[in-house]
Amino acid sequence: NGSFARPHYAVSLAAVAGRASGEIHATLGDGVPHVVLEDYGVPDLGPSSVVWGGDADTRSGWIAGTLHVGRARSEAAITHYNVYWVNASGTRGEKVGSIPAIGFSEPVCTGNACGLVERNQDAGVYSFERGAYQDNEVATFRASGPGSVVVTRVETEEYYDTLTVAGEALSGDLSTEVPKVFELPAGPAEIAWASDASLIAGGWAFTLMQTGTDAEFLINATQPKGTSFEVVSAYGENEFGPGMKIAVLVDYDDSMPPSPAFSPALVSFEDEDPGVGVISGTVH
């Protein structure tokens, strides 16, 4: 039989006898022959990064802290990530736990104008810009939320050449209205560009910042059962071994310099002295 989408609540396939006037009612508990329905899948991407945030337990022989896992570029074929101990010889040890996937996806463009759009990425912020455009252009950017889109320029033929963000179609000269900020909820997100076959103009630009790109896996105080952690993507019972990432573990104690776990997360200072060459204020 050909492929088909599994009904949302379907858990098994059952076989029953029937004829023109009807069929036997299928009740799994009554001994009806059945097989558990499982959607088989194999991941094709692994985590983008794995970093051990440092040991927060200063006792020798004990560790505690946070494992920071960069999600795969696309989690379309990933249900979760498995975390394992790895011993000194490099052999996988016990399973520590799992991190659920959230359907994360970096922005992907489809359409005849994708190659004409200038795209850059800096510190997790994607920027997209189309200058003077032509007729009949189409570009659809699909990504995942939550996140935010900031439209910084729109100069198009009003009503007919549109940049659509969060369901709002933008067109015309919006130089007095930008920047326009759109908050994207969790789940699939789409930004669409389309021009018709008449007038053309100067184009558009926007940035996209996604949250949820990294996952945190908490390690409570425990005696380590290895020298590092292995993180591998999985779909059900199937793992993508070639894409696994390793984070080396260091057990800090009081005789060592402070662990990275105790590093300040943020430092700020504002000069309150108006004099040139002199500063005064509070470091936060």
Strand partners, 238: 235
Q: Among 34, 29, 2, which Cα is nearest to 16's?
A: 34
Contact partners, residue 74, CB within 8 Å, separation at least 6: 45, 104, 105, 106, 108
Q: Please report the pLDDT score of residue 5 as a whole number.
A: 67
Q: Residue 84 — very low, low, confident or very high, per pLDDT cuts 50/70/90?
A: very high
**125: alpha, beta or left, given left = phi > 0 and alpha = psi -120 to 50?**
beta
**Distance between CA atoms of 120 and 206, rounded to whole angstroms?**
11
Q: For 21-78, what is each residue's pLDDT tens digit?
A: 777 677 766 667 777 766 668 899 999 999 999 999 999 999 999 999 999 999 999 9
Q: Which residue has the higher pLDDT, 2 or 67?
A: 67
Residue keyed to tokens 């991190």: 99
> What is the C-alpha separation between 30 and 19, in angstroms, rounded?
20
pLDDT of residue 40: 65
Q: What is the pLDDT of residue 161?
A: 98
120 vs 242: CA distance, rounded Å: 28
Q: What DSSP assignment string belongs to 66-77?
A: EEEEEPPSB-TT
Domains of the chain: 49-104+215-257 (2.60.40), 108-210 (2.60.120.290)
User: pLDDT value at position 216?
Assistant: 97
pLDDT in tens, 110-155: 999 999 999 999 988 999 999 999 999 999 999 999 999 999 999 9
